[in-house]
């Protein structure tokens, strides 16, 4: 496995709609493994392929479902939200926006349809933090970032803070 390079705002790949996956082969499985490794190294709970410069509709996520933080790793190919219900406000962060968080309102429960690494279709109901995570990651596949849900003033303040954080880390933004 390999740790992939994260893309930081305002990278163009974070603003574009990703292409569906049509080839299910060993290269896809390797990408999924590398994405999971990258997510774990960066202490994330979700990662979309555009965040590692791959414009494909691929998500990995691991939202622990119990107090022991038992791994719940999922790889979702070509995910779509079929149904939404309820509302939850959660303080979201993003690996492509290091150091930033903001409250975002999303559906509390979602039914997600997706393919696995072999191309088989599945449906899964996700709730609360897991629902927030998959909505956040699917947004990445559509070129939407969590800061897009904020007021223009709040977004401007946070993006200015991001530029400062990245400059302090020696990362060109």
Consecutive 10-residue averages of pLDDT for the chain (173 residues): 92 97 97 97 96 98 79 94 97 94 97 98 97 98 96 93 84 63
Annotated catalytic residue, options 42, 118, 128, 137: 137
pLDDT for 86: 98
Q: Is 33 known to be catalytic?
A: no
pLDDT for 172: 63
What is the secondary structure of 90-155 as a DSSP string? EEEE-TTSTT-EEEEEE-SEEEEEEE-TTS-EEEEEEEHHHHHHHHHHHHHHTT--GGGGS-HHHH
Q: What is the CATH number of domain 12-168?
A: 3.90.45.10
């Amino acid at each position: 496995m390999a740790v992939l390079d994260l893309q930081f705002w305002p990278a163009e790949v974070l603003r574009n709609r990703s292409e569906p996956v049509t080839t299910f082969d060993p290269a896809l499985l390797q990408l999924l493994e590398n994405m999971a490794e990258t997510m774990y190294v960066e202490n994330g709970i979700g990662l979309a392929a555009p965040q590692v410069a791959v414009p494909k509709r691929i998500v990995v996520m691991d939202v622990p479902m119990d107090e022991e933080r038992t791994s719940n790793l999922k790889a979702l190919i070509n995910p779509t939200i079929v149904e939404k219900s309820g509302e939850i406000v959660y303080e979201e962060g993003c690996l492509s926006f290091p150091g930033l968080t903001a409250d975002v309102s999303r559906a509390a429960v979602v039914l997600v349809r997706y393919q696995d690494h072999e191309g088989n279709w599945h449906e899964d109901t996700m709730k609360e933090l897991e629902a927030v995570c998959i909505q956040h990651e699917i947004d990445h596949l559509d070129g939407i970032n969590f800061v897009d849900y904020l007021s223009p003033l709040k977004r401007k303040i946070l993006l200015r803070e991001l530029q400062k954080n990245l400059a302090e880390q020696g990362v060109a933004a």
